[in-house]
Every structure is written in C-alpha cells, then in structure tokens.
Amino acid sequence: MLNLDTIEKEALMLSLRVAFWSVTICLPVALATAWLLARQKFFGKLLFDALVHLPLVVPPVVVGYILLVSFGRNGFVGSFLFENFGISLAFSWRGAAFAAGVMSFPLMVRAIRLSLESVDSGLEEAAKTLGASNVWVFITITLPLILPGIITGIVLAFARSLGEFGATITFVSNIPGETRTIPIALYTLIQTPEGEVGAIRLVIIAVLLALGALVISELLARRMRRRERL
C-alpha cells in the first residue's frame, strides 16, 4: 500500500478537486458547443471549430500564458472580474481548475459531437411531427442517445485535467496546498534531494488514475457500439 506523506496527499486531493470542477464547469459549455458544431451551419464555423480544438495542438505553456495575460489580476478580463466581483483566478486552485478545463475542453466536445452526429435524425423528426417541442425532443430522445458519449467525454476530460501541467504552472504557478497538483508536485519532487521515493509514489498514482479513466472510456465505447448494432 502507498504510504503518502502530507504533501503527496495534499497534491492528490487538490488534483481530484481541480479535475472535478474543471469537468463540471466545462460540461454545459461543451454540450452547447458540440451541438453547434454537429447540428448548425453558420458563417465562420470552420474557424470556430479550429479555435475549439486549438488547445490540443499548441504548447500548453502558450495556453497558460494567454490565460495569465487575459485572466490575471491586471488582464483585461481578470481586472474586470476582480474589480466588479472580487474574483481572482490567477495563482489559485480555481485558476488551476479553469486552466485544466480549457485544456480538456476539446476532448469533451469531440466525444459529445461524435455521439450527436451518430444519432438517427429520423427519430427526432418523428417526435416533432407528433407535436413535441425541440427542447422536449432533445431531453427525451437526443440526450439519452448521446449519454454514453457525454460520459466518455467526462471521463477523458477528467483524466486530462488530472495530468495537466504546462498551462497550470504558467497560469497559477507552484503554490503548495493551493495550486500544486500531482504533475506539479512530481516536477517539484524530481528536483528535490531525496525526493525520488515520493516521485515514484505519485507516478504510480497518476498511472493508475489515467489507466482507470481509459478503461472506463473503452468500456463505454464498446457499449455504445453494441447498442448501435442492435
């Protein structure tokens, strides 16, 4: 059994909290974005799609720097939030959750979008001909059909949030107990004399968490494929 010290336990619990809130905040936005990309045609859709997936291809440090410039205390968005609502994201665990959410957002959108595109539109049209509103059709027909995709997106985004490093350390720095998640704690330990044992423990935890998320995601994908064959 892994005997974690206080710093390692702190990093683990903070990582789980950051991942949970990043997924919770991203889910409704990701659902709306996936619906727009899958079902709507509008001017600039290609550019919008590219911007949504941009965090997947640019260095995470670039994303972190953009967040720092925009949402830092002196940033054009951050200064507005702080002066009017007293909200400060930079150098806080909330900022870590926000950065993790930005980095994991494209994965969630893609999973939900693929599910939406696989839904038989004939079922939705049949419900509408019977008098059901668009909202009711979405809640009673579309949403249950894309639920496996939503869950897959949540699991993948949660795992990605747990492993986020570059954007997080750039935006919220390395503050013990506040922003030092598992990846940042691991980075700190490998630079600390006699920190190798703690680093190995965190590596094991990180691998187990990521492996568990991938297994769950694959099981859900298989279940979805079986359902489509029925």
Neighbour count for residue 21 (Cβ, 10 Å): 18
Fold of 6-117+148-229: MetI-like fold (1.10.3720)
Q: How would you class 2 by CB atoms within 10 Å of its CB: exposed for 0-12, middle for 13-18, buried for 19 or more? A: exposed
> Phi then psi for 224, rounded to 5 degrees?
-65, -40
- In this structure, what token pair is assigned to residue 142? 């579309």
Domain ranges of the chain: 6-117+148-229
DSSP state of 131: T
The whole-number pLDDT of residue 167 equals 94
Contacts 24+ apart (CB under 8 A), 173-177: 173/91, 175/91, 176/7, 176/10, 177/10, 177/14
The whole-number pLDDT of residue 147 equals 86
The whole-number pLDDT of residue 138 equals 85
Which residue positions in the chain have pLDDT lower than 50? 1
The whole-number pLDDT of residue 224 equals 66
